[in-house]
Amino acid sequence: MTRPADPPLFEFNDIHKRYGRFHALRGITLNAPMGSIGLLGPNGAGKSTLLKVMLGLLSFEGSAQVLGFDVNADARKLRARVGYMPERDCYLSGMNAVELCIYAAELSGLPHPEAVQRSHAVLEFCGLGDKRYQKIDGYSTGQKQRVKLAQALVHDPKLLLLDEPTNGLDPDGRDEMLALIQSLPARTGCAILLSSHLLHDVERVCSRAILLHQGEVVYSGTIEDLRKEGQADLYEVRVKSGDEQLKKALEARGCRVDEADGMLSVLVPASTAKPTELIFTVAAAEGLQVRHLSPKRLTLESAFVRAVNDAREGGAA
């Protein structure tokens, strides 16, 4: 779904925010294209503050533009184009899902008949069937999360802010919610900013990431780049059984083998022409079954920890 000349998703220029003496945001300068972006950072890094800035709810120094709107001057117009799915419970007691979505749509500026139509369409999209006519007070966690997503989508936002969308869901619920979120950009053409501690979720849904630490941007770019180990000949291997045996055999052939994350981390000698073949051959010779072999990339979690530690050391220096 292409729209003519998409403006950049947001542009921040040297944003500072102070709460008394606490310097929450220190010179944030960011530029991001439309797409799915993860917003990551330890607790207290400034994620919530940045989200508030993006919603036009805070005064700050510097300039910020989201979806082409100036955040200070056009805050209300901006909020009509942004959907927010908060982390904690968000509903009005005594209403059912349909009423909530209609109310939400009307508050965002849709006339009543359109609000009714869209509410039903969006609730269908989010997978709430007949349950939508019952009061939200009685919903399970998974259903409440779906309603939260629906109320964020009902006014067709161009940008969706998601705050821990899989909170409290059991594994199947998490899977379904993530699949739903993954399908959004193609279906609706909206951009997504996902703030979550569950880096697996972020990896699944987003292609880019912004990493904040103590009010500063530590990384802004693709997740692919963030995860690059930097070492070309490192491979992760898992065998059905016989880890120790394989380790010894590979070391005998000149590899360096460590154990990490339940798998073997193998560094083949630099001169090896076909590293994967080497590993397979050694395993076959020992009668071991290779169940997993791939170039080692950092998990997003390790990359995150590394980036933050680098920033800490950089700051301390």
Partner 1 sequence: MSAAKAKVAAKEPRGAIRDQGYQPYTGSYTPEGGRWKLIFGRMLKMTARQPWVLVMLILCIFPGLVGGVITYIQAKMYAAGAAPSPEPNVFYLFTKWYGTLIIGFLTALFAGGGAIADDARAGAFPFYFARPVTREQYLVGKLVPPILLVFCVTVGPAMLLAIARAALAKDGDDAMIALLLPFKTIGLGVVEALALGVPVVALSSTSRGRAYVQGAFAALFLLPWILGSVFTGVTRSPWPNILSIRAHLLNVGHFIFAVPLEENERALPVWVSAAVLTALVVGSLVLLRKRLESMEVVGS
Partner 2 sequence: MSDTKKMIETVHAARWYGQIIAVNDVSLEIGPGITGLLGPNGAGKSTLMKLMVGQLRPQKGEVKILGERIWNNRALMRRVGYCPEHEGSYEDLTGLELVTALNRLHGIDAGESEKRAKDMLARLDLADAMNRRIAEYSKGMRQRVKLAQAMAHDPDVIFLDEPLTGCDPLARVKVLEVVKALGDRGACVVVSSHVLFEVEAITSEILLIHKGQVLAEGDIYAVRDLIDKHPHKVRVECDRPRELARALVDADHVLNLGFEAGALTVDTREPDRCYPAIPQAAMKAGVTITSLTSPDNNLQAVFTYLTEERDKPGAHGAKTTAGAA
Tell which one of 170, 224, 225, 259 touches partner 2 (CB under 8 A): 170
Is 26 an interacting residue with respect to partner 2 (CB under 8 A)?
Answer: no
* 197 lies in the binding site for partner 2 (CB under 8 A): yes
In contact, 126 and 146? CB cutoff 8 Å: yes
Q: Does the footprint of partner 2 cover residue 20 (CB under 8 A)?
A: no
User: How many residues sit in the footprint of partner 2 (CB under 8 A)?
Assistant: 41
| Choice between 201 and 283, CB closer to partner 1 | 201
**Tokens in use for 217?**
């941007």
# residues contacting partner 1 (CB under 8 A): 44
CB 201, min distance to partner 2, A? 9
Residue 214 has, within 13 A of its CA and on its CB side, a CA count of 10
Q: 212 phi and psi, to 5 degrees?
A: -110, 145
Strands 61-66 and 10-19: antiparallel
Contacts of 186 (CB under 8 A, 6+ apart): 1
For residue 139, state whether it binds partner 2 (rule: CB under 8 A).
no
Judge whether 230 and 196 are in contact, CB under 8 Å: no
**Which residue from 269, 284, 310, 314 is in contact with partner 2, where contact means CB under 8 A?**
284
Phi, psi (deg, nearest 5) at residue 268:
-80, 155
Residue 207 near residue 36 (C-beta atoms within 8 A): yes
Residue in 8, 127, 173, 189 binding partner 2, rule: CB under 8 A: 173
Q: Which of 80, 198, 234, 298 binds partner 2 (CB under 8 A)?
A: 198
The binder of partner 2 chosen from 8, 35, 42, 109 (CB under 8 A) = 42
CB of 317 to partner 1, least distance (A): 32
Q: Provide, rounded to whole angstroms, the least separation between the CB of residue 184 and partner 1.
A: 9
Of positions 12, 60, 69, 84, contacts partner 1 by CB under 8 A:
84
Residue 211 CA to residue 217 CA, distance in Å, equals 6
Distance set, CA 238 to CA 269, 273, 274, 303 (Å): 19, 21, 18, 21
Binding site for partner 2 (CB under 8 A): 40-44, 140-142, 168-175, 197-200, 240-241, 261-262, 274, 276-277, 280-281, 284, 289-295, 301, 304-305, 308
